[in-house]
A and B are shown apart, each in its own frame.
Chain A
Amino acid sequence: MNDSLRVVLAMIELELRRLRNDRTEVFTRAVQPVLWLVVFGTVFSQLHAIPTSGIPYVDYITPGVMLQSVLFVAVLYGLTLVWERDTGILKKLLVAPAPRYATVIGRSMSSGVRAIIQVVIIIPVALLLGVSFIPNPAYFVAALAILFVISGGFAALSIIVASLLKTRERFMGIGQALILPLFFASNALYPIASMPRAIQIVAVFNPLTYAVDAVRGLMITGNLALLPLDVAVIALFDILMFAVASLSFRKIIE
């Protein structure tokens, strides 16, 4: 256990160190969420087309856009494992004195580092657009923690998908095929109540829904009624993804 935690922390530190030398990617990745907020957010805000129980639409979708960004970063990060299969890094990590699942969890959780950076870039943009956050540092930190943890689950999900890929081709396509359904079949852009019945069912089984609800409650609405459920679902999702990813990892390394 101690070994595993050590490995996970080392991999998170690695990601922080890599980030220092790779700043352009941080900003190019931020373009998409910022456009969502600035264009989509402000346009729909004026249309008043979506029932948001009183809060401005830009405020409503800010957590959704944050989670979309987290999802995007995490899924692509996990898929890069297919690339690393062809380098020696993965092989060398496997030979380190740590359980294999620690490598998988470490890899997955370090996607959270990149994800949080994206969120941190989105916040000033949201503030400029007049989004009002709940000024409670504890809530804020809790929201970041949720974003960080769900990122690990999504990265593990994409490791599972990566283990099924034989080649690197269709890499981006697979990424999109994973991200877009999760994003649109969730409460990121509109309340579940306003969805068609079929999509509602998908949204209920979509872990993103729970993360959006938690972050929206902690950052924007202050409605924490479902927070315990949200946290439980996210934890369960992560554990499940880590477990399956650890098992399917064998396929990647052989």
Chain B
Amino acid sequence: MTFAIDARGLEKVYKGNVAALAGVDLDVKAGDIFALLGPNGAGKTTLMRILTTQFKPTSGEAHIFDLDVVRDGAEVRKVIGYVPQETSVWSDINGYENLLIYAKIYGLPSRSRKDVIHDMLESMGLRAPAEHLVKTYSGGMVRKLEIACAMLIRPKILFLDEPTLGLDPAARIAVWEKLVSFKEEFGTTVFFSTHYMDEANAYSDEVAIINTGRMVTSGTADELKHSLRGELIKFSLSDHRVDEHTLGRIRGLEPVKSVVVTDSTLNVTVEDAETALPCVMDALRSEGIPVERITTTKPTLEDVFLWYAGTTRAPGAASSIGRVEGKAGGTRRE
């Protein structure tokens, strides 16, 4: 199996002793869409800039398709496309000219250059405004143009630093449809950072969360959601007390992980609410306890994010753990 990205122990200390990365390990499979999540200042951009050969890590090493980002920088740059977090097109020339200049910088053969550019404009939906100055573009159009520039050389891997920052929902979907189509059509690996959890959830094959320069977890979105303690079922009991016997019986049920009673609610944490619900209901019914209302809460990727990165592991972080509890319902890991 070739990895698109394979990084070991990456550290980066900026001037002024800012430790932006503190030992990052990363494996990204070829052809995957990989989401990098993390709070502001976590080190996402720093990681991306090292992987795209802009500067060397202070220590550690990284390979892009088996090419070393430090030693084989020139080779790496031939197989990657990159859209930085900040705007990276020239605003005082038009969209077509932006692509033309990049095509020349990238050394696209002059025979096919025009066709490639036109295909790219077409596929990004930029044909109509191609002759307009980029100054007049909306944020979504600029992002599409930037992705078009990065895709000109059909890179094996595309690095996108917050590709949909500031875009409206329709523009975000449009951008993602293109990215997914690149993956499907050309097998392009997409490595992107984002603050939009729904995006990571919907489009990524794998997710990693970075916080204060360390990878705190990674896996598929589902795996991460399951890695929180499970799903919560809340039974509202019409002013009925649950006796110890019943509690013990429910605790003893196979899928049940924990049970907490508060006033007239019974909180049952399980692995999977859909399959666990009938058997908990059976137990309650046979004990003659009437249930007024049932709600189930599944952890979302947002809960995962808040759990792993919502606290900066600093004193006073308890309140954000509380938020996780309130939202996902007792999904804290022990």
Contact = CB atoms under 8 A, between A and B. Distances in A.
Interface of A: 3, 6-7, 9-11, 13-14, 17-18, 21-22, 86-89, 91-99, 250, 253-254
A253 B93 contact: no
Contact of B84 (A3, A13, A91): A91
A231 B53 CA distance: 37
Interface string B89-104: 1101100010001101
B80 A10 contact: no
Given A13-B101, A94-B52, A254-B55, 12 more contacts: A6-B104, A6-B105, A7-B105, A11-B101, A14-B93, A18-B92, A21-B93, A86-B86, A89-B89, A95-B54, A95-B80, A98-B77
B78 interface: yes
A4 to B, nearest CB: 11
A95 B53 contact: yes
Given A88-B86, A92-B88, A254-B55, A97 B78 contact: yes
A-B complex: 3 closest residue pairs judged by Cβ atoms: A88-B88, A88-B84, A10-B104
15 contacts: A6-B104, A6-B105, A10-B105, A11-B101, A13-B104, A14-B93, A14-B97, A17-B97, A88-B88, A89-B89, A92-B149, A94-B52, A97-B153, A99-B74, A253-B54
B88 A254 contact: no
B74 A95 contact: no
A233 to B, nearest CB: 31
Interface of B: 14-15, 49, 52-55, 74, 77-78, 80, 82-90, 92-93, 97, 101-102, 104-107, 133, 146, 149-150, 153
Contacts of B92: 18, 21-22
Contacts of A88: 83-88, 146
A97 B77 contact: yes
A157 to B, nearest CB: 24
A96 B152 CA distance: 11
A92 B53 CA distance: 11
B101 A21 contact: no
A248 to B, nearest CB: 14
A21 B133 contact: yes
A22 B87 CA distance: 20
A253 B101 contact: no
A6 B107 contact: yes
B105 A98 contact: yes
Contacts of B14: 254
A98 to B, nearest CB: 7
Interface centre among B88, B101, B153 (most CB of A within 10 A): B88
B54 A87 contact: no
Nearest to B45: A91
Contacts of A10: 101, 104-105
Given A88-B86, A88-B87, A89-B88, A18 B105 contact: no
Contacts of A89: 87-90
Contact of A94 (B54, B86, B153): B54
B90 A18 contact: yes
Given A91-B54, A93-B105, A253-B54, A17 B88 contact: no
A97 B106 contact: yes
Contacts of B83: 88, 92
Nearest to B75: A97
Contacts of A93: 105
Contacts of B97: 14, 17
A17 B134 CA distance: 13
Contacts of B149: 92
Contact of A17 (B49, B53, B87, B93): B93
Given A92-B82, A99-B74, A250-B55, A9 B87 contact: no
Contacts of B93: 14, 17-18, 21
A123 B89 CA distance: 34
Nearest to B89: A89
Contacts of A17: 93, 97, 101
A152 to B, nearest CB: 18
Given A18-B93, A89-B88, A254-B15, A95 B52 contact: yes
A24 to B, nearest CB: 12
Contacts of B107: 3, 6, 97-98
B59 to A, nearest CB: 16
A99 B78 CA distance: 12
A93 B78 CA distance: 13
Contacts of B153: 97
Contacts of A97: 74, 77-78, 106-107, 153
A18 B98 CA distance: 10
B77 to A, nearest CB: 4
Contacts of B54: 91, 94-95, 253
Nearest to B82: A95
